[in-house]
Amino acid sequence: MVDTAAHKPARKTGRARSKPAAAKSAPPAEAAPVQSAPVHPPAKAAAPKPAARTPAAGSAEKYAAKPTAKPAPKPAPEAGALDPAAHMHDIVPPAVPDFEKMAVNARKAMEFGGKAMAAVMQPLQKGETPSLPDEVTDAVRTLGKVAEYWMTDPRRAIQAQTALNTKFVEIWGNAFRRMTGENIGPVIPYDPRDKRFADPQWKESPIFDFLRQAYTMTVDWASELVARQEGLDDITRAKAAFYVRQIAAALSPTNFIGTNPELLRTTFREEGENLVRGLKMLAEDIEAGGGSLKVRQVDSSKFQLGVNMAATPGKVVFRNDLIELIQYAPTTPQVYRRPLLIVPPWINKFYILDLNEEKSFIRWAVAQGLTVFVVSWVNPDERHADKGFEAYMREGLFEALNNIEQSTGERKVTAIGYCVGGTLLATSLAYMAATGDDRIDSATFFTTLVDFTDPGDLKVFTDAEMVKAVEAQMKDKGYLDGSKMANAFNMLRPNDLIWSYVVNNYMKGQPPMAFDLLTWNSDATRMTRANHSFYLRECYMTNNIGKGKMSVAGVKIDLGAIRIPVYDLAAKEDHIAPARAAFNGAKLFSGPVRYVMAGSGHIAGVVNPAGEKMKYQYWTGEKPQGKFEDWVKAAKETPGSWWPDWIEWIRAQAPEMVPAREPGGGKLKPIVDAPGDYVRVKC
């Protein structure tokens, strides 16, 4: 509780203008809104008792000290009466701020606000024509279809509006009863999993709890309108639900100073200095984004590639226009004869598998006795515009195989493909099966889609209209900016990856912390026009790869022709490559398949180190067949990391050992130390 006596000047002014209330207050059911609720009349001083006698003029009694009169106690509110002062602690700071200092900080904040606006206008000054993002245009078009359905039929419109109004009145009545002192629970329960409403005032204050409930109720109502609309195709419904989530995340009361108790306290406590720092960062981030806000998520200054990130020792042993091939130095006297090739996605950089010593899958694999090679994709520019899927297969994966043989003398390898790198690996394996190339002896897929029937949340960006828009963006430059894909991934989790940083950075004035995973996440890569367009159309739009209708270099891609052993790792909470979709894709392979489902999501499910600090769990079961739900019910859950399970699978296939190999092996001259040069190229 805040001592409201510390705010007497403000409260005195308010009461001087108030008229005494009627003796009885209206019952709660007929009460007016909070701001016009009756105010309790000031207590009347008790009448003094008649004196026994009137002192004569000049008598000593005239000058005698009189006892100080005690003010009469404030009467308790009558039943049903609303006392706004009882809830002043919800919105009033614990101490009166220095208003002069607040005025100075307000002026500074306005200066930085002006700089932010100037940064926004900078593209116009350069003659650039502003345009709405494609996502905004698509959102208006998609949600317009939903609004048309509900508004063109008066009966449906009235039903929808009545449902909203009825719930709103119920929530308001609940808040009113709480403000009158009644001890009742909320209409919409508090969700402890929603970190946005973690401040105690969202539960304890009737005012802020009303805002929380009204917001949650409105979001649920809008989501239900999308879910209940008849005649929508699956893609449009998914897009509408996605855009409702974006709007809901943006309009949360936690995003605004006046409706967030924590932001109010912070602003009064710091006398506005938080806004000065925040608007300064806002101006810097808009300028860094070339007129668009590039929300900073992390302090990357604490990390340096090759020093405390991507620091596993090794050498780049081959380089062409598309890849650098890294071979890592051994840490055991003997290694397995069969080398390991890792094919990461080209939509981000490979060192997600080599963040630091504790989290590095690459370092751990080397310690298990594997000779590890990793493809580091180029960060493409206009010179690479026409490098398509075939080029990534021939100049990427096949060149890596050629040079592994040069370095180690071994023709047979085992391979890992991560995300879209796994899609490329599967495509290449089908091509190799059709052409009699057997250099890959077994394959592991990390959170990979090869059946795009249910491609997860990214499907909202991959319908025909959105793909055409992306291709238009790539037409002139020859590539897709890394920021475009980064924004798409951020929009999949807007509360965590966008608005939490908006609040912390620009309203609390708190710069983001140093965090290795987010440093990697912010290190975006571009995508070539030819490769990205092929991937979107042949995989996401048509699922030709899963249907066996896709062709590469004139060869029909049949995933059923892949008969080598496969270890298929999915992640239970993956929203990019859903576990069910990975399960259905695994059924397309004809050879022995070990399907494993890890806990957590697309990144943490994979980067789950073995050892004392291991997290989550994993599930194993029979070869994937039938329904995914049935497999999950019968699966065995094992606590900890799946990494030991995978290495046992590797050892069982090819247990033969040989003396450790140094990078290059004498046949390839090392070019530069790991992590190489391509990974250092920024967008």
Please list the active-site residues.
419
The alpha carbon of 527 is separated from its chain's Cα centroid by a whole number of angstroms, namely 22
Residue 454: how many CA atoms within 13 Å on its side-chain side? 11
Per DSSP, the three-state class of 375 is: strand
- Distance (Å, rounded) from C-alpha 233 to C-alpha 238? 9
Residue closest to 649 by CA, chosen among 442, 484, 449:
442
Residues 6+ apart with CB under 8 A from 308: 302, 356
Residue closest to 366 by CA, chosen among 567, 605, 672, 661:
661
DSSP calls for 105-161: HHHHHHHHHHHHHHHHHHHHHTTPPP---HHHHHHHHHHHHHHHHHHSSHHHHHHHH
Residues 6+ apart with CB under 8 A from 352: 344, 418, 520, 603, 606, 607
Q: Which two tokens stand for residue 171?
A: 């929530």
Q: List the Cα angle 230/143/468 in 5-degree steps.
A: 105
- Distance (Å, rounded) from C-alpha 348 to C-alpha 324? 15
Phi, psi of 596, deg, nearest 5: -130, 135
Task: Give Dmax (Cα) for the chain.
Answer: 128
Residue closest to 223 by CA, chosen among 163, 169, 170:
163
92 contacts 267 by C-beta, under 8 angstroms: no
Per DSSP, the three-state class of 444 is: strand
- Distance (Å, rounded) from C-alpha 203 to C-alpha 209? 6
Q: DSSP alpha helices (H): ranges in 152-205? A: 154-179, 201-204
408 contacts 663 by C-beta, under 8 angstroms: no
Strands 617-620 and 636-639: antiparallel
- Distance (Å, rounded) from C-alpha 683 to C-alpha 612? 37
Phi, psi of 49, deg, nearest 5: -70, 145
